Amino acid sequence: MSSKIMNTPFKKLALPLTVALGALCATAPAYALKTIHSERSLYRNLFVTEDGDLRCLTFRRATAGTRQTCFDKTQPDFLYFPYARMMIGSLYLNPNPGRILIVGLGGGTLPMTMRGILPNATIDVVEIDPAVTKAAKEFFNFKEDDKLKVTEEDGRVFVKKAIKAGTQYDLIMLDAFEDDYIPEHMLTREFLQEIKTILVPGGVVAANTFSSSGLYPYESATYAEAFGKFYNLKAANRVMWAQNGPLAAQETLDANAKALEPELEKRGVKSGMLFLMLNARQDWPDDARVLTDQFSPSNLLNTRVK
C-alpha cells in the first residue's frame, strides 16, 4: 500500500473505507452455541463453545458477545477476529523480532501465529489463570516448546521481574483483555514506563484495547505520555502500535508489509485493510487526564460509548 494513502483527502477515501470496514467488522450471525467445556476458575467463569466447525473460548458467560478466541477447525491458522490481525500487523514496524513478550494467552492465537511466522523467535507468554492455559492446550492447539513458554502469574509482576533480571524484548503484545475489562494496574503510566524499560531501542508495543469507551481519551493520553506519537487502528476493537523511540514512517511499514505478505495474507492479515485504518493523529482532548497508579478508576470510566 502506497504511503500516499496517509495524505489522501478523506472524501476520496470515505466510500471505500466504509465498505472495507463494513466487511471487516460485520457482525457474525447469532450462533446456536454448544458448550463443550465449562469451568469456574479462581478468576472467572470459562467456557469453550462450538457451532459446527467454529470453536470459541468465552469468559463469564457462554454467549457470542463474550468470545475471547475463536478458530475454524477447517482452517486453524486463519485469524478469525479483526483485532488479532491488527495485533499481528505490528510486525510492519519490526518484521523480525527475536524476543517477544505476550501478556494474556486466551486460546493462544497470538503466540501460535507468531511461532508460525517466526520459528526462531523466543516467545514468553504471561497468563494469570491456569485454567486458561489448560483450555488453550486442550481445545485450541496451543503448544509450548523450547522457545515458547507460558508463565502463570500477573503480567505486571512478570514485567517487574524482567526489569530486575535485565531481560529485554523486541516486541511486546498486551492482550490482557476481556469483553469489558482490562486490569487497571496494566493501564497506567507507571506500567507503560515499566514496559518501555524492557523494550530494546526501537522495540514495538502492540496493545489491544477499546475502540469506544469512556476510557478512550485517558488511555490515549497515557500512551502518548509514555511513548509519544503512536499508530491507532480501530474496528470492533482498538489496537495501538507504539515504539521505544521514533515511530516508523509509512514508507518503512510499506516495505515490511511487502516482505511479510506471503506469511501474513494466508492468515487473513492484509496490509491494504490495515493501512486504511491506520493513523497517528490525536483524536482525544488535550486536557485528557493520564492514568496513573493513583488514578486508574477503570470500573467507573469504562462505559461503552454507543
Q: Which residues are catalytic?
A: 175
Q: For residue 292, what is the enclosing H or E element?
A: none
Indicate the pairing of strand 169-174 with strand 148-151.
unpaired
Chain centroid to Cα 45, Å, comes to 22
**Cβ(206)–Cβ(84) under 8 Å?**
no
CA angle 262–263–267, rounded 5-degree value: 115
- In this structure, what C-alpha cell is assigned to residue 28? 457474525
- In this structure, what C-alpha cell is assigned to residue 277? 485504518
Quote the CA–CA distance of 65 and 60 in Å, as a whole number: 11
Quote the CA–CA distance of 71 and 74 in Å, as a whole number: 9
CA–CA distance from 230 to each of 56, 97, 99 (Å)?
A: 31, 19, 21
Residue pointed to by grid coordinates 490482557: 176
Quote the CA–CA distance of 134 and 129 in Å, as a whole number: 9
CA–CA distance from 181 to each of 9, 86, 134, 297 (Å)?
A: 36, 19, 22, 12
- In this structure, what C-alpha cell is assigned to residue 100? 517477544
The dihedral region occupied by 202, where left means phi > 0, alpha psi between -120 and 50, and beta the remainder, is left
Quote the CA–CA distance of 236 and 64 in Å, as a whole number: 14
